[in-house]
Chain A
Amino acid sequence: MLTFVARRLLTAAITILVVVFLAGVLIHLVPGDPITAMLAQSGNASAADIARLTQQYGLDRPVWQQALIYVGNVLQGDLGTTIRGNEPVAPLLLGRLPNTIALAVAGLGTALALGIPMGVIAAVNRGRAADFAVMLIAILGVSIPGFWMGLTFIQVFSLHLGWFPVAGTSARNIVLPALTLGIVHSALVARMTRSALIDILNEDYIRTARARGLREREVLMVHAMRPAMISIVTVVGLVFAHLLGGQVITENVFSWNGIGRLAIQAMLQRDYPLVQGFIVIFATSIVLVTTALDLLYGLLDPRVRRR
């Protein structure tokens, strides 16, 4: 088990290191110069100022050199300073991470609260009207663009009913973005729950349980749901990882002060250090979540440890 854990952690560390280097290189492939973009908005984009700041920010160095310097700095815990406003990147991103995690957890909770019952209903009623109805709702949920759903929620629940504020980052504000994210991701949870349950409900031991006269609810909740949870946990991990970095649009629509919003603004401004910092933190989160899942599987299933 110890070797398995060490191998997984080493793989995670190497992956993060490669991501840090690639973040340093790939950002320069995006067209657009950060200094020109910045100064163009100041009414002062003189060639002399552009040249001076380009040199001061080290952007005149070869890309590989900039990337290596970046890796070195990150290894020392320094994510650099922003080009816009000249602020340290790490506190800027880490200060918003709790907001992003809070929304991700709330969105995931909503997705599970909606998706699991939907999947169970669909699996139990496989091929019947209830199955089609639930799956149709799930498909609609995943097909409706998140930003459209979010704006509609604002119009209905904030503007017309006045139940929730339109914008901001607080406990009251989290309801609508969590609902938006939850509905969008509940489709995946519902489908995964449905297919896992259908497989398990056809197993011999389920038939045996039924033959023993157990009630259907007991068969479902005790004998079928527990093994199905392994597949559902996989989806939960992936959805959570996706929510950590993929809720940019929802954060924007609801003015939720998370790292996604900061990242999209940084990308438009070509604020390289901030974008790189976001990639590093996002990638690290994904790697940590998937590593934790790997370790969890290893704990649950010895066959995984031996691979």
Chain B
Amino acid sequence: MTVLPRLTLSALLLGASALTALPLAAETTLTVARSVDADGLDPQKVSTTQSSQVTDLIFDTLVSLDATGAPHPALAESWTISEDNLTYSFTIRQGLTCHDGAAFGPEDVVFTFTRAVAPETMNPRLSQYGPIESVTAEGNVVTVKMTEPYGPFLSYLGSFALPMLCKGSVAADGAFAPIGTGPFSLVEWVRNDHITLKANDAYQGFGQLVENKGRPHIDTLKLVVIPEAVARMAALRSGEVDLAEPSLEEAAMLSGEPGFKIYSADLSGQQVMAAFTWKLPPFDNPEVRRAIGMALDRDAYAAIAYEGLVSPTTCPAAPGLIGVDQEKCAEWGTKYDPDAARAIMEGLGYTPQNPLKIKLSVHALPGFDQMHQMMQQHLAEIGVEAELETREVAAFFDQMSQENQRTEGMPVLWTMGYSGVDSDYMTVMWQQPGFVNMGVGAELDTMLADQRMLTGEARVAKLQEVQKYLLENTYAVPLVSPGWNWLWASTDKIEGFKTGFVASLIFNDVKKID
């Protein structure tokens, strides 16, 4: 062998060894600790936020909501609404691929709607689809006909509650496998332990809250379940997980600690409020309800009970939703004024020495406990003695269903939370019989029914009329927003994490930095 071939061989060997020594692009795995797992991964059979947080990563929606709640094109590149508001025509975007490699098209949209409203699906969110009469496809256009106008339809179509499935999700034998067009596809689900998702290489995103419209930056997303808050925080601090749901106390502590970040779901659509068993005297007297509303200091609850991690709110629907105007609501509703409240109660014969005895019926959630203790003190100052009754969630709603039907006995002030992507949830709550029988009456029922028939500014005006009615009659005392499952903590090595409507989780922009 001459010198030249030897050199060449050496150079080749060196090159080869150098190539093998080059670091390959490392797979990025983001591990997220949640307190509870999804109930299922079929978006047409689940109802909890924790379930939809996962299905929202696998499936996309026809429309995408911006931070103001306005709908924009997503899987549907455009749409038209007939003049009578009964027919929606969606033009489905072409060139989209399902996780199983099949092309996504109008037939998938028809399949999604048909399955969603079929009785055998037992869809817990059926009513959010509205009064659908038929869904048909012609060419690239899907036509949805309603039996009557349904104003919130587009909002719900932009929420994680009504995503679009690919037909491949349901096998011939009826077995379900989550196959969508979303940013992640399912690798593995070990119920109550972990869900592993991988980035969808063919992803085309249209989310209004997302900057990265292509494949997510991270390769693998692992959602692990760690029920105990202390253990979740230990896992975050030890580096076992990158992102975790903190307790309220931990969040307050971490927010001032270097090396950690706290995220609050500002667009949660969540609302915490106080309500009355208004059929029970003296809560049937609007003046009494008004006095109690004036005794409740929402600013203090937000700052002290919730450690400043929520905002006081004045409207019966959550900030950011259609028709919600905090300034107008502040004018219509009660303002904190303990002196005026005390004067009203004294006029009715109630004093700290001769108090009105009521029950303060609640269920436990982070921040709620401290708020309820403060409420007790505030009520005592105006001559209302509130006996605190705490139940766990399921028993609480059962109890309130009964309390709201009673017409005699001790009156009850109760707190609750509600969430959604559209102020239409006031219909579910307040239209008779209403959520846990909290419906109010025919006048409000008509207003709530009317807002569903309208669109645009007319609907906004009607929704504000509803809120004005609820606030001026003090059926509801809005307190704070958001209020549950709304906090996240990460190390400062995580960038780009966001939350969307109803505390959805957005990982499209997430990067792990060294």
A residues near B, CB below 8 A? 30-34, 36-49, 52-53, 56-57, 82, 84-87, 92, 95-96, 147, 151, 154-155, 158-159, 162, 165-169, 252-255, 257, 261-262, 265, 268-270
| Contact status B401-A265, CB under 8 Å | no
Q: How far is the CA of A49 from the CA of B428 in the complex (A)?
A: 10
| Contact status A151-B228, CB under 8 Å | yes
Q: Beyond A32-B395, A32-B397, A270-B394, is A86–B231 a contact (Cβ under 8 Å)? A: no
Complex A-B: 18 CB contacts under 8 Å = A36-B436, A37-B397, A39-B124, A43-B419, A44-B124, A45-B435, A52-B126, A53-B124, A57-B122, A86-B40, A166-B235, A166-B240, A168-B194, A252-B227, A255-B225, A255-B228, A265-B192, A269-B394
Q: Beyond A32-B398, A39-B47, is A162–B234 a contact (Cβ under 8 Å)? A: no
| Contact status B124-A36, CB under 8 Å | no
A158: chain B residues within 8 A (beta carbon): 234, 238
Residue of B33, B36, B240 with highest tally of chain A CB at under 10 A? B240
For B397, give its contact among A40, A96, A168 (CB under 8 Å): A40
A34: chain B residues within 8 A (beta carbon): 394
Q: In the complex, what's the smallest C-beta–C-beta distance from A46 to chain B, in angstroms? A: 5
Excluding A32-B397, A40-B435, A85-B51, 11 further A-B contacts by CB distance (< 8 Å) are: A30-B395, A31-B391, A45-B435, A49-B125, A53-B122, A84-B47, A85-B45, A158-B238, A159-B234, A166-B226, A253-B231
Q: How far is the CA of A130 from the CA of B442 in the complex (A)?
A: 78
Q: How far is the CA of A57 from the CA of B48 in the complex (A)?
A: 18
Q: How far is the CA of A82 from the CA of B48 in the complex (A)?
A: 14
A147: chain B residues within 8 A (beta carbon): 228
Q: In the complex, what's the smallest C-beta–C-beta distance from B66 to chain A, in angstroms? A: 19
B residues near A, CB below 8 A? 33, 36, 38-40, 42, 45-49, 51, 119, 122, 124-128, 161, 190-194, 224-228, 230-232, 234-235, 237-238, 240, 269, 391-399, 401, 418-420, 425, 427-428, 433-436, 502
Q: In the complex, what's the smallest C-beta–C-beta distance from B408 to chain A, in angstroms? A: 21
| Contact status A37-B393, CB under 8 Å | yes
| Contact status A43-B127, CB under 8 Å | no
| Contact status B397-A41, CB under 8 Å | no
For A268, give its contact among B192, B194, B394, B418 (CB under 8 Å): B394
B394: chain A residues within 8 A (beta carbon): 31-34, 36-37, 268-270
| Contact status B39-A166, CB under 8 Å | no
| Contact status B393-A40, CB under 8 Å | yes
Q: Beyond A86-B122, A87-B40, is A92–B47 a contact (Cβ under 8 Å)? A: no
Q: In the complex, what's the smallest C-beta–C-beta distance from A288 to chain B, in angstroms? A: 25
Q: Beyond A31-B399, A36-B398, A155-B234, is A43–B124 a contact (Cβ under 8 Å)? A: no
B46: chain A residues within 8 A (beta carbon): 84-85
Interface on chain B toward A: helix, strand, loop, or mixed SS? mixed
Q: How far is the CA of A262 from the CA of B231 in the complex (A)?
A: 18
Closest 6 A/B residue pairs (Cβ): A85-B40, A32-B394, A42-B47, A85-B39, A37-B394, A84-B39
Q: How far is the CA of A199 from the CA of B395 in the complex (A)?
A: 51
B161: chain A residues within 8 A (beta carbon): 42-44
| Contact status B428-A46, CB under 8 Å | yes
B191: chain A residues within 8 A (beta carbon): 92, 95, 257, 262
Q: In the complex, what's the smallest C-beta–C-beta distance from A281 to chain B, in angstroms? A: 16
For B193, give its contact among A39, A168, A252 (CB under 8 Å): A168
Q: How far is the CA of A159 from the CA of B435 in the complex (A)?
A: 44
| Contact status A169-B397, CB under 8 Å | no
Q: In the complex, what's the smallest C-beta–C-beta distance from A222 to chain B, in angstroms? A: 46
A31: chain B residues within 8 A (beta carbon): 391, 394-395, 398-399
Q: Which residue of B lies closest to A258 (CB)?
A: B192
A92: chain B residues within 8 A (beta carbon): 191
B224: chain A residues within 8 A (beta carbon): 167-168, 255
A252: chain B residues within 8 A (beta carbon): 227-228
Q: Which residue of A lies closest to B192 (CB)?
A: A257
| Contact status A86-B234, CB under 8 Å | no
Q: Which residue of A lies closest to B52 (CB)?
A: A42
Q: How far is the CA of A116 from the CA of B155 in the complex (A)?
A: 65
| Contact status A47-B433, CB under 8 Å | yes
Q: How far is the CA of A41 from the CA of B46 in the complex (A)?
A: 10
Q: How far is the CA of A33 from the CA of B225 in the complex (A)?
A: 26
Q: Which residue of A lies closest to B193 (CB)?
A: A257
B40: chain A residues within 8 A (beta carbon): 84-87
Q: In the complex, what's the smallest C-beta–C-beta distance from A86 to chain B, in angstroms? A: 5
Q: Which residue of A lies closest to B36 (CB)?
A: A265
Q: How far is the CA of A257 from the CA of B128 in the complex (A)?
A: 34
| Contact status A257-B48, CB under 8 Å | no
Q: Which residue of A lies closest to B40 (CB)?
A: A85
Q: How far is the CA of A154 from the CA of B122 in the complex (A)?
A: 42
Q: How far is the CA of A270 from the CA of B36 in the complex (A)?
A: 15
For A254, give its contact among B231, B240, B398, B399 (CB under 8 Å): B231
For A47, give its contact among B47, B237, B434 (CB under 8 Å): B434
Q: How far is the CA of A272 from the CA of B192 in the complex (A)?
A: 18
A52: chain B residues within 8 A (beta carbon): 126
Q: Beyond A40-B393, A167-B240, is A262–B39 a contact (Cβ under 8 Å)? A: no
| Contact status A262-B238, CB under 8 Å | no
B435: chain A residues within 8 A (beta carbon): 40, 45-47
Q: In the complex, what's the smallest C-beta–C-beta distance from A54 to chain B, in angstroms? A: 11
| Contact status A44-B127, CB under 8 Å | yes
| Contact status B393-A48, CB under 8 Å | no
For A41, give its contact among B48, B193, B398, B401 (CB under 8 Å): B48
Q: How far is the CA of A151 from the CA of B226 in the complex (A)?
A: 12
Q: How far is the CA of A37 from the CA of B391 in the complex (A)?
A: 13
| Contact status A86-B228, CB under 8 Å | no
For B192, give its contact among A86, A96, A253 (CB under 8 Å): A96
B33: chain A residues within 8 A (beta carbon): 167
| Contact status A255-B122, CB under 8 Å | no
A30: chain B residues within 8 A (beta carbon): 395
Q: Which residue of B lies closest to A254 (CB)?
A: B231
For A44, give its contact among B237, B392, B393, B428 (CB under 8 Å): B428
For A162, give its contact among B51, B227, B238, B434 (CB under 8 Å): B238
Q: How far is the CA of A96 from the CA of B225 in the complex (A)?
A: 15
Q: In the complex, what's the smallest C-beta–C-beta distance from A140 to chain B, in angstroms? A: 22
A48: chain B residues within 8 A (beta carbon): 127
B427: chain A residues within 8 A (beta carbon): 46
| Contact status A44-B47, CB under 8 Å | yes
Q: Beyond A44-B161, A257-B192, A257-B193, is A33–B36 a contact (Cβ under 8 Å)? A: no
| Contact status B237-A159, CB under 8 Å | yes
B393: chain A residues within 8 A (beta carbon): 32, 37, 40, 268
B228: chain A residues within 8 A (beta carbon): 147, 151, 252-253, 255
Q: In the complex, what's the smallest C-beta–C-beta distance from A13 to chain B, in angstroms? A: 31
Q: How far is the CA of A144 from the CA of B19 in the complex (A)?
A: 58
